[in-house]
Structure 1
Amino acid sequence: MDLIFATNNQHKVAEISSMLTDSWSIQTLEDVGFTREVPETGSTLEANALQKARYIKDHLGKDCFADDTGLEIEALNGEPGVYSARYAGPEKDSDLNIRKVLSEMEGKSNRRARFRTVIALIINGKELFFEGIVNGIILEKSEGTGGFGYDPIFKPDEAGVSFARMPLSKKNQISHRGRAFSKLVEYLKTIN
């Protein structure tokens, strides 16, 4: 069965594709020739994920899902949160975002943070949510070259290294997105 993932982020597609059986085929917006900008104007992760999924469902008429992820840092009152991708500006530059977080964390002893992913699935006329959370700390400097986004400065509680220093298979086992995707995959298995 085909399911559209309202993204063109190949890192995310690789993560979920590695978890699915061959009975499901994930298509990106690029795969289906959808080139319009998908709105993302919600004030919460849930609102953004659902807005993106509804937009694709309305325009393509096909079952789909969308996600939104935020890095929530205690010492920064939950920031960058829903604005994680564009924290340092609208260009969504990961290096600039990391530099901004590290700058704002200078001198702070509380380095507790969490990554949270929310997936909105629209399938068979239903709208469902799946959430994944991983707790950890913000490192004082980048470590590793793998992953994407804030991975080089986030060390989950379950590991001794940053996400950027883990193989994808290990990251999928404990990451926020991996946990949300696992819940989505388990649900998809029940309707396959």
Structure 2
Amino acid sequence: MLLDAQQTKPMEGGPSFSLRNRAQRFIWSAAWLVLASWTPPFLHPWRRTLLRLFGAKVASTAGIYGSARIWYPPNFEIGEHAYVGPKVNVYCMAKISFGDYSLASQGSHICAGTHDIDDNSFQLKAKPIEIGAQAWIAADAFVGPGVKIGEGAVLGARACAFRDLEPWVVYSGNPAQALRKRKYQPRSFSKTC
């Protein structure tokens, strides 16, 4: 999917992705714009269906708001009762997965792509992101490429995670720093809820 920047020269206007990938993303973006972006919040079932048609793995109870942006559905996976809130940007150049009961709040940015700043061609790189069950990415927070958000972890509002976050720990700041253990007691959820 990613092209060699030395050959395609994206710094001079060349592509970073194959023609097929760019065409798929164009069709997807147009479909989301016309069929989902304007829909009211309660139409989660319709948006789940549309995402599945384009290759996403979406649990039957997941919620994705119409104003959210999913960059490439085949790299998107979301579990039971997990939510992607309003105006969340899921920049899934590589796989981004949301565990059961996880939440990405309004305006957060989950970005699986970066560039090699030491490469003269500025090669694009993609690294998967995993958001654990019951984790919360608060409003306007940023999660960088390759980060694993542990189960039950909280990334506070406008915080930036560039490294893995430990389970059941609250983080804030840029870069995110651990504040304390979460007082909430972890519990198991049935898949049949």
TM-score, normalised to structure 1, is 0.26
TM-score, normalised to structure 2, is 0.26
Say which structure is richer in helix: 1
Higher relative contact order (CA 8 A, sep 6+): 1
